[in-house]
Structure 1
Amino acid sequence: MTTVAIDRGAPGAVRVKICGLRTAEDVSAAVAAGARYLGFVFFAKSPRHLEIAQARDLAIEVAPGVAKVALVVNATDAELDAICAAAPLDMLQLHGSETPARVAEIRARYGLPVMKAVGVAEAGDLPKIAEYEAVADQILLDAKAPKGTALPGGNGLAFDWQLIADRQWAKPWMLAGGLTPDNVAEAIRLTGARQVDVSSGVESAPGVKDGDRIHAFLAAAR
């Protein structure tokens, strides 16, 4: 199993993932601000979608120590083969309806750590976390997408953080969904999250990252 050093900060520091990066300027801003994870989206319906060649060109310029994450949605083996063969990645983020068995299969096939997204809207969604903990390396808790929405994430919606207040899980987990520079500190305080993920919350338009907002988000998360 491939491992990657991702903790470049002080012990206990909150780690931040900036997702949906599309340009070299996006990547530079995220790294300069102190992001520990960079997310590249491979989902054609998303305004943040990248072609494999674009992601490869961005990823090869990232210095060691910053985890490069491929976000996919119900990807086939053929799609994952192409992505993993071309781009130097450190982690796969599964953001679709992948079953625990499929998560385990992908983890074994590619030898990369796997983060599984779990959509949360109500307390009844939380038991699924344990099912995925058994097979994934990390869990991402995101707001469940509304019915009829084309995107499984990146919708700028938050869930009720009180649902996970004071809860602990065996595997590392990351909080996502509706986070912005204005609310991330409160989200961390309420949930105890040590890792947070942002995409639309640091954009000036869908798919267009804002360097100032990226820096503001990192500062607030600290």
Structure 2
Amino acid sequence: MHRRTRIKMCGITNMEDAEEGIRAGVDALGFIFVEESPRYIEPEKAKEIAANISPFVDLVGVFIDRDNVEVQEIVDYCGLSYVQLHGSETPEYCSQLAYAASPCKLIKAFRINDSATPEDFQPYQDVVQGFLLDTYVAEQAGGTGSTFNWDMIESLTLQRPIILAGGLTPENVAEAIDTVRPFAIDVNSGVEIRPGLKDYDKLRLLLDAVWKVDLARIG
């Protein structure tokens, strides 16, 4: 059965970008709570944005190796829908969030290179809702602007929905979807003027490309 590709726009830092993304048709917005990131947003600002967006839009908080109590506090404070973990978080760490008194829905990110194997993902299968696959770049957890070998994903035999990230642009997103058939894509640097500021023309072109490839799959 055909289903459409969901679209998450990450690196939201201001209300205008959030509103324009929703107006254009994205399904989810990502807030990066990593102070070292050029797209970092304070929880107070994220909460302000979250309180003023349209309903039925998922809100995703991005974290790297942060204390799980702090993560839970930010989730509750901002009203987030999902937690996206981009560090070396263990399955045990994920379980603590997934089965907390106020449980979090989790997406575990993996930076992919040629050494990736199914065994890397197996311990997380029962505690996360999806796997985000990003490009491996040393010392960079995300927003790389680079793609990876999409053909290798099939060999990973993943049992959870795939969110594809890593250098997706209006020019390559159709090929990415045709190759991977992900549940969703995660776009960031490919629709930016500069880190933290979105390019609405690029965003609309990318969304058009996604919708066209989805329609073509219907036949």
TM-score (norm 2): 0.89
- Name the CA distance, whole Å, in 2 between partners of 1:41 and 1:201: 16
Q: Any conservation in 1 of the 2:117–2:156 contact (CA below 8 Å)?
A: no
Partner residue of 1:128? 120
How many angstroms does 1:168 deviate by? 5.0
Q: Which digits, 9 at most, give the CA deviation of each residue in 1:159-184, with x for residues without a partner?
A: 11111148653221211111111101
Q: Which digits, 9 at most, give the CA deviation of each residue in 1:137-193, with x for residues without a partner?
A: 1111111232xx2x3011112111111148653221211111111101001111122
Q: Secondary structure at the match of 2:84?
A: strand
Which stretch has the larger CA shift, 84-93 or 166-175?
166-175
Which stretch has the larger CA shift, 104-113 or 181-190?
104-113
- Name the CA distance, whole Å, in 1 between partners of 2:72 and 2:119: 31
- Name the CA distance, whole Å, in 2 between partners of 1:192 and 1:108: 30
Q: Identical aligned pairs, as a percentage? A: 34
1:21 pairs, out of 3, 6, 12, with 12
- Name the CA distance, whole Å, in 1 between partners of 2:91 and 2:208: 35
- Name the CA distance, whole Å, in 1 between partners of 2:41 and 2:16: 15
How many angstroms does 1:104 deviate by? 1.1
- Name the CA distance, whole Å, in 1 between partners of 2:5 and 2:157: 16
Partner residue of 1:63? 54
Task: Give the unaligned 5+ runs of structure 2.
Answer: 212-219
- Name the CA distance, whole Å, in 1 between partners of 2:155 and 2:88: 27
- Name the CA distance, whole Å, in 1 between partners of 2:99 and 2:144: 30
Which stretch has the larger CA shift, 182-191 or 209-218?
209-218
Structure 1 position 115 matched with structure 2 position 107:
yes
- Name the CA distance, whole Å, in 2 between partners of 1:138 and 1:193: 11
How many angstroms does 1:123 deviate by? 4.4
Q: Secondary structure at the match of 1:44?
A: coil
How many angstroms does 1:32 deviate by? 1.0
- Name the CA distance, whole Å, in 1 between partners of 2:56 and 2:95: 25
Q: Secondary structure at the match of 2:71?
A: helix
CA 1:78 to 1:170, structure 2 compared with 1: closer, same or farther past 3 Å?
Answer: closer
Counterpart AA for 1:155: T
TM alignment of 1:144-183, pairs within 5 A: 144-146=136-138, 149=139, 151-165=140-154, 168-183=157-172
Structure 1 position 190 matched with structure 2 position 179:
yes
How many angstroms does 1:19 deviate by? 0.3
CA 1:128 to 1:107, structure 2 compared with 1: closer, same or farther past 3 Å?
Answer: same
How many angstroms does 1:112 deviate by? 2.2
Which stretch has the larger CA shift, 152-161 or 129-138?
129-138
TM-score (norm 1): 0.88
1:93 pairs, out of 69, 81, 84, with 84
How many angstroms does 1:129 deviate by? 2.0
Partner residue of 1:199? 188
CA-atom RMSD in angstroms? 1.8
